[in-house]
Structures are given as structure tokens and as C-alpha cells.
Structure 1
């Protein structure tokens, strides 16, 4: 039995949102399209897409937005243009930036810009991390929240100081806002207040929102128009964006409204985890609805435990597992979404007890 088949048989699933099978998802999309008289866009021209772009631009407080087929393309394009505008090719990024960790050196191999690591990889940025850089920066890329360290955020005062520092230094400040919806909830601030002071931002249409894929890049009208042209040059000019927009738009308001519930559920989860010190949590107190759980077993043993719990008890603890710094240890990312929101307190506590016992054994 495959992992996907095994997970579908489980009744207590910890990570993320419920994965809807294609037939169910496409049926929901079709019903929403019929209800809203949706027409396909053609190479980006169409009311559904353009209205959704305008909606996200307004929500974040920017002049314009443009759809991009992937955040990977959106991010490096935005930073490339920012560096061109300032005649400086150097971008400062956190050591755990998605661009470093997951994008296969695209910025370097494709000649977009040059990048340097700033700050400590185990904590969010302080303004002092940027002030310590003597070079003239073209851009600064700031991820909110930092996924690779458990969804942590710079404090609000530090974030405001970073915005002011970049403005005074003449550096374009770009936000990797793949999880901006979660960050805004963590700060307890409106989206446009979090985004104020950034020159551009990228947001995901599938991560917290649960769509099929795709991204939006927001900024000034002139900046967004230039980015759209670069998306075409890089093969991003798909004929119909409508499937991605429908999958996001039909649940967008519902997902944003649920973010406070996800965060409250994450606080409950941390309280429940306190009874099982064999599982180490980073951060100790959640800042968003995301955590990293560190285990005293190897990745192979963790995967074996996951299968045992799924087969014997209908519990699915995590999706992907990674080796940790110390030998024989591992960790996984846990995004708290609909699955944990709908599980009862009793289910969650019982599942954690079984998981901790298996780790101890």
C-alpha cells in the first residue's frame, strides 16, 4: 500500500488541510465556475484573473498584481528587476531562504543576481544583521515567516526597523510571502500593514490557501508589468491561468478567516506536546500555525513508526521527514490546518501519547 493510500485510511491526520481527490476538487471547481459564470482567461486576459489580481493588490496595499505560474519564477524575477533598477547586483538573503534551500541555484545559473547570506540561520533577522553588511545592496529578500526554522517571525519592532533601514539604504525590500496569510495572523496585524514598506511581495495561491498552484507578485504597476514580460521570456505564459485562480478564489475568504483558528489550534498542540518531552518543539511557543518537531530517532525509524501508527491506529503524524544535525535524530515540519482543526482534543492527545511511546520504545 502506498503512503497516499495509507494516509487516506487514517482518521487522525496531523499535517495540513484535507487532500481532496481530483474528482472531488474538480467537481467543486466546476460548480463554482457555473455559479459565477466563469470564462477562461486567454494568456492572462480575462475578468476572473484580472479581478483576482486587483483584489490581492488592494488587500496587500499595492498598486498592481500579476499571476505567475510558480513562486520560484516570481521571486528571482522580482529580485533581478530590483537589482537592475539600482545598478547593484547584490541581494541579501537569510541563510534558510527558499532561494538557497529549494531553488537549485537558479538565481546564479540563470544570471539573475548575486546573493549573500546574512544573519544567523537559527533565528529570524535583526536589523543589525543587515546593518553589518558593508556592501551596497540592490535588494533584500525577507521571508515571512521563516519556514525552515518552524515558522518564526522577526519581532514587529525589528520588522519595522528592517523596513526603515532598507528605505534609508536605497535597497529594494522584497517579501517572500508564501505564508504571508499566516504571518499576518501571527503578528495580529492586517495584511496591508504587514506589507507596508515592502517594494514588492510574492504570495502563494496553494500553500495555506489550498489551491492547485500558482503565485501572485505585487508591486507598482510599472514593476509588475516588467515582471510579466520576464515571466513570458522564461516560459511562464500559459494560455489559461483560470484553473489555478478558480482553485484559490473559491476558498480564499474561507481560508483567511480560518487563520486565527489554525493559530489557536497550534497553541493547543504545543500545550499537548508539553506532556511528551521526548518530542522537542521549535519554536517553543508558536508564532504562526507552523512548528518543527524534533525526534530522537533516525529518519528510517521515524518512517517505520509513522507506518505502524497508520496501519494499527489510523494516525498519520507527518508527511516528509528530514535528518537533523545530531546523528540518529530527525525532524519534520507540521503545518496546522483543517486536519487538526477538525480532530477532537481527545484524538490529538491520544495520538501524541502513542507517538511518544513509539519513539521511546
Structure 2
């Protein structure tokens, strides 16, 4: 039944002509055609164990982030575990200061604990970014501080300002710790923080970025940092099984995202404010945070996730319009929550159109 529903959802989304939240899916043929139309030479030699286009992407990402070197990883989970392992070796401490709602803790089955022997130290349990004072006053030693930018689970939250982020990093350094940024969504953080990618990444010793969460890639990530650190990370990437024979589809998709999506992110973040304001004006609808820190935010409404997903799917099947999917029940509140992602397809939606479609879905 779950597979049938997933297929129904994919087919409905694929047939849509408009989408408020997220990417509309592409078939393999459509993806290949996007490579051709994007100027990629599909008759050229593919990569082999990390050479050719893989090295080209690594060089480009290192330059964007202002780091001496970068390494491509098939997954962010692998990249982050390698990074934290290396900083633990260099600091002499297996304690990693982090947030309990971080991706490392919530979505990676505690791989950093079971595979690397690290242990967490919670900076704060509050559903927000940690403060400089909390980092400074942690009551035990830690070798690495990891900061997720933005922190997804409580609403894609960023520090209040770049100055506050700078103070958080300084507090960790004063404790003799290294700093790693989980920047899976760092790309869209520049507007709120008021700095370019290289300036933000320059605060940290290492940074991980994703190529599919925002940029619309197939898979893959990059880890950037000092040259000797990245050289050692490549060795651990091999040990973890990440030195894959050919990865050109993921590489081309990542390059395409850097070419076409990254330059538009400022407009996505700006339009998220318009969409959030329109949704929050509806009775019984809450948006968090309001205004959004990035082009992603949470929407909370009364009802069940199953009913809301079905209403959204019915609209997609009858009108070829995708509103917001992926609802989750928030027991015991009686509310359901979904994450909204504003991308190119949403830019044509006016506040009035957002309101009109939202009412159609909620009335269902």
C-alpha cells in the first residue's frame, strides 16, 4: 500500500504544471536532456574514481566556500562522520558539542557514535540555535563544535545575526575546540546572515554542503577545509566505501544546480516572506518562523497529516497544481506540520493565488 501511494504521489507531482513547495520530479530521460541543454558534453569521458568532472566540481566548491580544498562525498552522512572523526583525532577529544535536533542526531541513526566512537555534548535543548554564552559555559570539555546552518528540525533557524554566529565560533575556539558547519543548506543562509558564502564558511574549520537538498541535484555532497585535512578525508572516504567508480550523473546535476539554482536563491528567500505572510493570514494557520530565515519554513494547521496529504494529492490530480505535501502529525497537539520550500516554480505565485489554493486544500 505504501508503495502504491508513493507511486501515485510521484505520478501526480510529475504531471503538475505548477508547484508552490519543492521541486517537481524529473524522469531519467528528462534529467539527461537537462544535462544536454545545460551544455554538458555527454560524449566526453566520464569520471573514474574521482577524477575529471569530480575534481572540477571539488575545485569550484572550494572556491565558492573560500577554502583551500574540497572533496566530493556520495552522501552528507559520510562526509560529516569523516569530518568529526578527523577533528576528534586532532583535538584529542571524542566529545562533539551539538544540538540534539541536529541532522547528525536525528537522521543518521547515531552513525557518529557507532562508527566513529564519538559522543555528543548538548549545547542547549531549546528549539533554537545555541548562544555564545551556552558554548562558553558548557560544563565539560569538547573537541569539536558542530553548528547546523540552518537548523532544520525546529524550522530552518539561523542565528540572529552574523555577529552572533561569529561569537558562537569564538566561544568554541576559546575552549580550544575546532568548529564544523553542517551547511547542507548553507547556500540559502547568506541573505539572513548578510554575508557571502566564503565569509560565512570562513568562520569554520570545515564545512559540509549538500547538492540535492536545495540545488536540485541527484545526490552527493562536498566537504571543504584545509588541504591536509581534505587529503586525510579522502583516505577515510575510501575506507567508508565512498570512492565510487563513476558518479558523473550526480556531478553534472550538482554543477547544474550551482549554475541555475544558486544565482536565484536570494529571490527564493525574498518570495518565501510573501508566501509565509499569505499563509499565516489564514484562520487557524501558523507559520514558523515568521518571517522565514531562508526559503524554507514550517506551516502548522489543525487536522491530520493523512487528510491534508490526501487533499493536496487530490488537488494535484484534478487541477495539476501541487500545494504542500509531506504533512506530519504533531501529537498530542492535534496539529499537523509540513515544511514549505520556495523554489523557482513558486515565484509566479502571488499572495492572492497562495491564499486561493490554500483554501481549496483546507476546505477538502
Per the normalisation by structure 1, the TM-score is 0.93
SS of residue paired to 1:80? helix
Q: 1:10 to 1:151 in 2, by over 3 A?
A: same
The answer for unaligned runs of 5 or more in structure 2 is 1-6
| Aligned equivalents of 2:133, 2:167: Cα separation in 1 | 9
Q: 1:344 to 1:6 in 2, by over 3 A?
A: same
Tell me how far 1:343 sits from its aligned partner.
3.5
| Alignment size in residue pairs | 357
SS of residue paired to 1:133? coil
Q: Matches of residues 217-296 of structure 1 in structure 2 within 5 Å? A: 217-296=223-302
Q: Pick the aligned partner of 1:302 from 298, 302, 308.
A: 308
| Aligned equivalents of 1:197, 1:56: Cα separation in 2 | 16
Q: Pick the aligned partner of 1:315 from 293, 317, 321.
A: 321
| Aligned equivalents of 2:36, 2:259: Cα separation in 1 | 18
Q: Pick the aligned partner of 2:104 from 99, 103, 115.
A: 99
User: Which deviates more, 30-39 or 330-339?
Assistant: 30-39
Tell me how far 1:237 sits from its aligned partner.
1.1
Aligned position for 1:79: 84
Is contact 1:276-1:356 (8 Å) kept? no
The answer for unaligned runs of 5 or more in structure 1 is none
Tell me how far 1:120 sits from its aligned partner.
3.1
Q: Pick the aligned partner of 1:125 from 109, 130, 134.
A: 130
User: Which deviates more, 35-44 or 234-243?
Assistant: 35-44
| Aligned equivalents of 1:330, 1:224: Cα separation in 2 | 42
Q: Matches of residues 304-343 of structure 1 in structure 2 within 5 Å? A: 304-343=310-349
Is the aligned partner of 1:351 residue 2:352? no
Q: 1:75 to 1:34 in 2, by over 3 A?
A: closer
**Superposition RMSD on alpha carbons, in Å?**
1.9
Aligned position for 2:3: none
User: Which deviates more, 307-316 or 142-151?
Assistant: 307-316
Tell me how far 1:125 sits from its aligned partner.
1.5
Q: Pick the aligned partner of 2:141 from 136, 139, 142.
A: 136
Aligned position for 2:214: 208
Per the normalisation by structure 2, the TM-score is 0.92
Is contact 2:306-2:327 (8 Å) kept? no
